[in-house]
Amino acid sequence: MEDGWLVVGLGNRGERYARSRHNMGAMVGDRLCEELDARLRKVRFSPVLAADARFREHRLILAKPGTWMNESGPPIASFAKRHGIPVSRVIACHDEIDLPFGSLRVKMGGSTAGHHGLDSMVEAFRSPDFHRVRLGVGRPPTREAGVDHVLQPIPKRQQEEAAVLVAEGAEAVLTLITEGLAAAQERFNRSGIAKG
């Protein structure tokens, strides 16, 4: 499937974390499933949920690891290999504490900035050269609060903005696939969601 794309929504498994900041990437995956009328199903012999989809003339596989965030890499890399998808056609959607809440960045490769899901993917693929759709969740008030910050549910006051960010993240994925990286960066890379 050299011409296909693998879109990975990173997050933690289980209902407890479903609406947390750390699961923003998984929310983008869910949003794409809704938009493309695709249904995630358990992959046999693998801790991965996946769905086949099409957008215009492009073939996509939407996937979510059924593991904890920091163990996502091996099942995703193995799944990509089995489907003949090169690392350059993998898009990881993930939360990013180094970006202000509501901001969005699309990039290819580079540092993981200590994101354990990305660390796991880089190690498993033996390459950092996959695309990233980075969803800003903002930094916690103190360094010690880091883990709690990303694992807590998104507070009510930010839920509307989070929903807009997830929708734009899904749109950024489809733009990246249909128009390329430069077009996606030009359209979506920004510091925050404009008010009003």
Q: Is 22 a catalytic residue?
A: yes
Cα distances (angstroms) measured from residue 147 to each of 11, 22, 66, 171, 179 = 13, 9, 20, 28, 36
- The C-alpha angle 107, 181, 60, rounded to 5 degrees, equals 95
Q: CB 194: neighbour CB atoms within 10 A? A: 7
Task: Using DSSP, state whether 25 is helix, strand or coil.
Answer: helix
**Which tokens go with 160?**
């509307």
Q: Is 67 left (phi over 0), alpha (psi -120 to 50) or beta?
A: beta
**Tokens standing for 133?**
């759709």
The answer to whether 81 and 96 are in contact (CB under 8 A) is no
Distance, CA of 91 to CA of 178 (rounded, Å): 13
Catalytic residue among 22, 94, 115, 131: 22
* Residues 9 and 26 sit within 8 Å (Cβ to Cβ): yes
What residues are labeled active site? 22
